[in-house]
């Protein structure tokens, strides 16, 4: 038995998308899975991420939304309309999203659910994303309807690849927080096909639900293929260019952090030489200045002699 959460976002309870959601709940319950449905429009879910989400601020003077999310989660002060959703996602082993495509994307109510519910902390944070994300080991499945027809989507097609258009959700959200993302189910041209075709479409969706546990997943990166600073690693290890770039970034970061490092870069080989202001002062204090003047004077005498 699998714990399944269906997050549904359609404003019309009799819509075809809602029929897909009902079919999913029914089929999965028939298979003895435990199913909970969250209907965002029916709940009147507030999709706006704002300072009102936090009653007990770690910094009352400046809102950094993700840091306040972490703080509220840790202190048990999550907004009362957010916490039950967080608990449900943490409870579920499979999360299904049913929605119509709006403007090549999710409806705003679902986008707001992502912003407010997939918190920094339990779901992601620091280097905890993709295969290190908080939802690793769990599955997510996108079931979406659209007005467009299949031939309009694809590498050479007028709108491009549909999974690519939705990559902000499939990869940038679900993959990012660590889900194994099942290949999406798309119902094309829904309002324009015949009633019989829609009945057929619904039946093909039920078939997909019967083989859900063998459904292939999408390929996303593994963090083990990237360095600590997220530069790609070659099979043998980090390439020299990436190592050099990473060193440069580290030095720049130290510079930003107040170390005042002077960074001299040889871009060809990526060699980096760095001297901080303090090191320069030590150099002069330690007799380097006298030695430098002596060297310049010697070169001048040599030039006169020649
Ligand atoms: C703001 C906005 C932006 C959009 N952007 C895009 C876009 O970028 N790309 C794109 O391709 N499309 C876009 N669309 C179109 C939209 O994606 C589709 O209209 C929508 O997905 C169709 O699904 P639906 O559930 O709303 O269908 P509905 O219109 O609700 O249903 C279609 C028909 O199916 C019937 N039906 C319901 N249940 C069943 C059942 N069980 N069996 C048989 N028939 C049934 C209904 O009665 C209705 O007659 C957009 C629409 C909007 C409003």
Look at ligand 1, atom 27, and give the residue with the nearest C-alpha: 16
For the question of whether the overall pTM of this predicted structure is more than 0.85, the answer is no
Residue 16: phi and psi, rounded to 5, are -65, -40
**Residue 199: CB within 6 Å of ligand 1?**
yes
Look at ligand 1, atom 33, and give the residue with the nearest C-alpha: 191
Question: What atom of ligand 1 comes closest to residue 198's alpha carbon?
Answer: 43
- Each residue's pLDDT expressed in tens, for the chain with a length of 306 residues: 899 999 999 999 999 999 999 999 999 999 999 999 999 999 999 999 999 999 999 999 999 999 999 999 999 999 999 999 999 999 999 999 999 999 999 999 999 999 999 999 999 999 999 999 999 999 999 999 999 999 999 999 999 999 999 999 999 999 999 999 999 999 999 999 999 999 999 999 999 999 999 999 999 999 999 999 999 997 555 556 666 666 666 666 666 655 433 332 222 223 223 333 444 444 445 455 566 676 777 777 677 666
How does pLDDT run across 232-251, given as a tens digit for each residue?
Answer: 997 555 556 666 666 666 66
* Pair 143, 188: CB distance under 8 Å: no
Tell me how far the alpha carbon of residue 242 lies from the centroid of ligand 1, in angstroms: 47
How does pLDDT run across 179-238, given as a tens digit for each residue?
Answer: 999 999 999 999 999 999 999 999 999 999 999 999 999 999 999 999 999 999 975 555
Question: What atom of ligand 1 comes closest to residue 101's alpha carbon?
Answer: 17
**Residue 206: CB within 6 Å of ligand 1?**
no
* Pair 21, 98: CB distance under 8 Å: yes
CA-to-CA distance for 220 and 55, rounded, in angstroms? Answer: 37
**Domains in the chain: ranges and CATH:** 3-224 (3.40.50.360), 229-305 (no CATH)
Chain CA centroid to CA 106, Å: 15
**Residue 19: CB within 6 Å of ligand 1?**
yes
Please give the structure tokens belonging to residue 192.
């324009």
Q: By three-state DSSP, how is residue 186 classified?
A: strand
**Residue 101: CB within 6 Å of ligand 1?**
yes
């Amino acid at each position: 038995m699998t714990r399944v959460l269906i997050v549904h976002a359609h404003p019309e309870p009799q819509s075809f998308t809602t029929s897909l959601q009902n079919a999913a709940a029914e089929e999965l319950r028939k298979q003895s899975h435990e199913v909970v449905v969250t209907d965002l429009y029916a709940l009147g879910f507030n999709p706006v991420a704002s300072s009102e989400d936090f009653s007990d601020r770690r910094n009352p003077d400046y809102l950094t939304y993700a840091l306040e999310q972490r703080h509220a989660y840790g202190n048990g002060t999550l907004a009362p309309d957010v916490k039950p959703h967080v608990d449900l996602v943490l409870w579920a082993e499979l999360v299904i999203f049913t929605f119509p495509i709006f403007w090549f994307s999710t409806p705003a109510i679902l986008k707001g659910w992502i912003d407010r519910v997939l918190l920094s902390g339990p779901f992601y944070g620091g280097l905890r994303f993709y295969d290190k994300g908080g939802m690793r080991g769990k599955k997510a499945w996108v079931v979406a309807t659209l007005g467009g027809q299949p031939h309009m989507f694809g590498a050479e097609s007028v709108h491009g690849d549909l999974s690519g258009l939705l990559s902000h959700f499939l990869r940038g959200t679900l993959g990012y927080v660590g889900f194994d993302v099942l290949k999406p189910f798309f119902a094309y041209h829904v309002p324009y096909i015949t009633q019989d075709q829609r009945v057929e479409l619904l039946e093909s969706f039920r078939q997909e639900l019967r083989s859900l546990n063998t459904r292939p997943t999408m390929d996303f990166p593994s963090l083990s293929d990237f360095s600590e600073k997220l530069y790609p690693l070659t099979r043998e290890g980090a390439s020299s260019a990436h190592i050099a770039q990473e060193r440069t970034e580290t030095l720049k970061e130290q510079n930003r952090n107040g170390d005042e490092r002077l960074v001299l870069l040889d871009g060809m080989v990526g060699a980096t030489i760095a001297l901080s202001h303090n090191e320069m002062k030590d150099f002069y204090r330690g007799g380097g200045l006298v030695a430098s003047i002596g060297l310049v004077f010697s070169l001048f005498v040599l030039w006169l002699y020649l």
